[in-house]
Amino acid sequence: MTQNIYDDPNFFRAYAQLPRSMQGLDAAPEFPALRALLPDLNGLDVLDLGCGYGWFCRWARTQGARRVAGVDVSELMLARARSMPTDPAITYAREDLETIKLKRKAYGLVYSSLAFHYLHNLEGLLGEVRSALTPGGRLVFSVEHPIVTAPLQPGWSDAGSGRKSWPVNGYLHEGERSTDWLAKGVIKQHRTIATYVGLLLRQGFRLAHLEEWGPTPQQIAAQPTLAVERERPPFLLIAVE
Amino acid sequence: MTQNIYDDPNFFRAYAQLPRSMQGLDAAPEFPALRALLPDLNGLDVLDLGCGYGWFCRWARTQGARRVAGVDVSELMLARARSMPTDPAITYAREDLETIKLKRKAYGLVYSSLAFHYLHNLEGLLGEVRSALTPGGRLVFSVEHPIVTAPLQPGWSDAGSGRKSWPVNGYLHEGERSTDWLAKGVIKQHRTIATYVGLLLRQGFRLAHLEEWGPTPQQIAAQPTLAVERERPPFLLIAVE
């Protein structure tokens, strides 16, 4: 099983303070770009892998999704999701994405935000997703960009030039990275873009869209601290069919 | 027209000294990986965009290609190509890849090594390539990896840690980069991986393979100076159908 850092009380306490925890999708600046990759949700059955507080599950219902299933490994996250106003068309379940078994041909959309980079057995999960999609169904997901996850000591460098840079090393050395994000020793799996794409193509998916997300000029105008994220993209967004 | 740096006598003199100029494909460590993306060349008509000295054109003939067309913008490169042993099935032509018009449904393989990152109008060229391929034909190409082309002042950093890193900035700021490689002010176009993939998908290509190339352990054992290239990939290899 993956390290379940979200059930670490100290991590969870810090995570709960993040804007994207408190305010949901509106505080996730990459969500408009992810949203643009979604199919029409009207009447669709949707699965959210790593649903957290369930922000996306509830939003999908406002877009006409017929049923939404949210799964997450974290009890604390699911408890928070279940504390929100209930909707009988949304179900939450505790599942380990490393070993989860999915219903066959059950979903028109499988969605995942910033969860896959925690997994060892992404290949197994993608095989499940492939079988779980209805014909013409779509997988849309985001992960931390491999430029971000690669370095053994990630962080911005200034180097006196006034322009920030993100020193990259270890990019082709895939595997575990331990970082101190909200808590000490959070474990993520570094994979290259080529590996993400290769895993998907080998499962028989067709690549529909690949995006190295950065904030728009409008977003930077509203929140100037985002500007540095254009020096190197924080997230990788992918849609496959 | 793109800056034609290969016809700058000083640049050409330096370029002619590079192992990959003198020894051809055997001195290009990424060639085995590119070769693995090629279709069976037996009986195929092949086009090489940015053929340089014609190393690939001649190699393709040894693999059974029926006819090979090599095009390049550089007179000096083509003169060198034409000085090699002649083969009536290989034709060389001087063409500007920014504006070239290609024959319709004429090639089973279009190949390009380290040329596309010089072009402004890559979209136009890819449209031509799409029309020039026979049904089931393939485009296989390499470019400098966007991690390499992004920084405004590219170069390795040591920062006292003993481990080299490649400071990335400007990744999402696409466009012209001027570097001093063999000569001062060599102009390349920085594009993200997402842009390369997006241009291809919008032309109707299907992505067959994407590789962020780095040297193999065997190559590093034979040439230890290559090891640093695993800290960040030097080349991006793509195959589409």
Tens of each residue's pLDDT in chain B, 241 residues: 678 888 998 888 988 888 888 889 999 999 999 999 999 999 999 999 999 999 999 999 999 999 999 999 999 999 999 999 989 999 999 999 999 999 999 999 999 999 999 999 999 999 999 999 999 999 999 999 999 999 998 999 986 667 899 999 999 999 999 988 888 889 999 999 999 999 999 999 999 999 999 999 999 999 999 999 999 999 999 999 9
Separation of alpha carbons A127 and B145, rounded Å: 29
Q: Please give the pLDDT value at position A158.
A: 84
- In the numeric block, the tokens 């997402």 are attached to B194
Q: What is the mean pLDDT of chain A?
A: 95
SS3 track for chain A: CCCCHHHCHHHHHHHCCCHHHHCHHHHCCCHHHHHCCCCCCCCCEEEEECCCCCHHHHHHHHCCCCEEEEEECCHHHHHHHHCCCCCCCEEEEECCCCCCCCCCCCEEEEEEECCHHHCCCHHHHHHHHHHHEEEEEEEEEEEECHHHHCCCCCCCECCCCCCCEEEECCCCCCEEEEEEECEEEEEEEECCHHHHHHHHHHCCCCEEEEEEECCCHHHHHHCHHHHHHHCCCCEEEEEEC
Q: Please give the pLDDT value at position B160.
A: 64
Separation of alpha carbons B119 and A188, rounded Å: 37
Chain B residues with CB inside 8 Å of A166's CB? Answer: 167-169
Q: What is the pLDDT of residues A116-165, one digit of tens each?
A: 999 999 999 999 999 999 999 999 999 999 999 999 989 999 866 678 99
Most B-contacting residue of A34, A190, A195, A197 (CB-CB within 10 A), to test interface: A197
Angle CA(A190)–CA(A192)–CA(A193) in degrees, nearest 5? 130
Among chain B, residues having any CB pair with chain A shorter than 8 Å are 147, 150-153, 157, 159, 161, 163-173, 192-194, 197-198, 201, 206-212, 214, 230-233
Chain A residues with CB inside 8 Å of B170's CB? Answer: 231
In a domain, A67, yes or no: no
Instruction: Give Cβ neighbours of residue A192 (< 8 Å, ≥ 6 apart).
Output: A146, A171, A172, A174, B212, B233
Beta-ladder partners of B138: B109
Q: Please give the pLDDT value at position B19.
A: 86
Q: Give the domain extent around A188.
A: 96-240
ipTM at complex level:
0.95
Q: What is the pLDDT of residues A11-28, one digit of tens each?
A: 889 888 888 888 899 999
Are A170 and B231 within 8 A, CB to CB? yes
In a domain, A171, yes or no: yes
Question: Around Cβ A127, how many Cβ atoms within 10 Å?
Answer: 16
Task: Measure CB to CB from residue B231 to each of A147, A153, A168 and give the nearest one.
Answer: A168
* CATH number of residue B117's parent domain: 3.40.50.150
Task: Measure CB to CB from residue A197 to each of B153, B165, B210 and give the nearest one.
Answer: B210
Chain A residues with CB inside 8 Å of B161's CB? Answer: 153
Beta-ladder partners of B103: none
In chain A, how many domains are there?
1
In a domain, A88, yes or no: no
- In the numeric block, the tokens 């770009």 are attached to A33
Per-residue b/e over B49-79, b at no fewer than 16 CB within 10 Å? bbbbbbbbbbbbbeeebebbbbbbbbebbbe
Are B230 and A193 within 8 A, CB to CB? no
Tell me the longest C-alpha to C-alpha distance in chain A: 56
Alpha-carbon gap: B1 to the closest alpha carbon of chain A (Å): 29
In a domain, A1, yes or no: no
Q: Please classify residue B186 by burial: count the beta carbons closer than 10 Å to its beta carbon, then call 0-12 exposed, 13-18 middle and 19+ buried.
A: middle
In a domain, A18, yes or no: no
Helix or strand holding residue B178 (H, E): strand B175-181
Residue of chain A nearest B162, judged by CA positions: A169
Region A53-65: mean pLDDT is 97
Separation of alpha carbons A143 and A125, rounded Å: 15
Instruction: Give Cβ neighbours of residue A229 (< 8 Å, ≥ 6 apart).
Output: A214, A215
In a domain, A172, yes or no: yes
Q: Please give the pLDDT value at position B182.
A: 83
Are A207 and B212 within 8 A, CB to CB? no
Percent of chain A scored above 70 by pLDDT? 98
Question: Around Cβ A222, how many Cβ atoms within 10 Å?
Answer: 11
Based on its alpha-carbon atoms, the radius of gyration of chain B, rounded to whole angstroms, reads 18
Q: Please give the pLDDT value at position B115.
A: 97
In a domain, A21, yes or no: no
Coil/strand/helix, residue B170: coil
In a domain, A196, yes or no: yes
Helix or strand holding residue B211 (H, E): strand B207-213
For the cut 80, the answer to whether the pLDDT of residue A215 exceeds it is: yes
CA of residue B75 relative to chain centroid, distance: 18
Most A-contacting residue of B193, B195, B200, B241 (CB-CB within 10 A), to test interface: B193
Q: Are B45 and B108 in contact (CB under 8 A)?
A: yes
Separation of alpha carbons A134 and A138, rounded Å: 8
Instruction: Give Cβ neighbours of residue A235 (< 8 Å, ≥ 6 apart).
Output: A30, A114, A142, A143, A144, A145, A212, A213
For the cut 80, the answer to whether the pLDDT of residue A1 exceeds it is: no
- Under 8 Å CB pairs connecting chains A and B tally to 109
From residue A166, give the alpha-carbon distance in Å to each of A149, B9, B151.
11, 36, 10
Q: Please give the pLDDT value at position A160.
A: 64
